[in-house]
Amino acid sequence: MLLSQNERLDDLGLGGLRLIQDKTQFCFGVDAVLLSAFARVKYRGRALDLGCGNGIIPLLLSHKTKASLIAGVEIQSAAASLARRNVELNGLSSRVKIIEDDLKNVSEAYFGFAFDTVVSNPPYMEPARGEKNASEALRLARHEIACNAGDVIAAASRCLKFGGLFFMIHRPERIADILTSMRECGLEPKRLRAVHPKAGQNASMILIEGQKGAHPYCVMAPPLYIHGADGGYTDEINAIYERA
């Protein structure tokens, strides 16, 4: 496998998966791993990742679920090309498909079928907030320039079958806007889980599950702590990463 000057090959330590990452593009973090562990796809179901980047979440879902098809939509040409290479590298071309397009264009009709599960790890930062990176690729990945949370939620609703599940990870300070948008788009919030760096600290991320067409009823799951009192990873994080 030939790598360019800015690329590296990482062993994910999960099911033998490997991932090519370009240091000039957005490299995945713990949020992608937590979202893939939080999401559920029924046996032989179809899953869609909105804003798939280099393909990390479709690859992780291929390992963690028995989905028959996992599609990823990515607007950036370089990232979509890298995602396709990662799919081929791991021999997953029969299960994982990467589409280069704006997620605002997608719907059930776009694909010719509806999905059982839609996931997304979207840009977190509003355009006017936070320091903007000089790289256009990183700006698009981190800031709501090409899409915002509402666009992602609307696309998810269009692509899901009735009763289908939506999973997102985002910042806790955006939760009111996210839940409002979900209800407006027919996705009923069903499960929330706060992610904390460690006990006693404020949540840094929030995992959200919604269901299309469901009745109102939402559960607040126990918090997820990344680090324990000793500074090391908690047992749950080690289990998610499948570390001995």
Give residue limits of the domains in the chain: 7-240
CA distance 44 to 152: 24
Q: Burial of 196 by CB count in 10 Å (0-12 exposed, 13-18 middle, 19+ buried)?
A: middle
pLDDT at residue number 142: 62
DSSP string, 8-64: EEEE-SSTT-EEEEETTSPPP-HHHHHHHHH----TT-EEEEES-TTSHHHHHHHHH
Instruction: Give pLDDT tens digits along the chain (244 positions).
Output: 678 888 899 999 999 999 999 888 878 899 999 999 999 999 999 999 999 999 999 999 999 999 999 999 999 999 999 999 999 999 999 999 999 999 999 999 999 999 999 999 997 666 656 555 556 666 555 655 666 899 999 999 999 999 999 999 999 999 999 999 999 999 999 999 999 999 999 999 999 999 999 999 999 999 999 999 999 999 999 999 999 7
CA distance 226 to 184: 32
Architecture of domain 7-240: 3-Layer(aba) Sandwich (3.40)
Write the pLDDT tens digit of every residue in 148-162.
899 999 999 999 999
DSSP letter, residue 179? H
CB 97 within 8 A of CB 70: yes
**Residues pairing with 193 in the sheet:** 207
Distance of CA 106 to the CA centre of its chain: 16
H-helix or E-strand spanning residue 226: strand 224-227
pLDDT at residue number 140: 59
pLDDT at residue number 23: 85
pTM of the model: 0.92
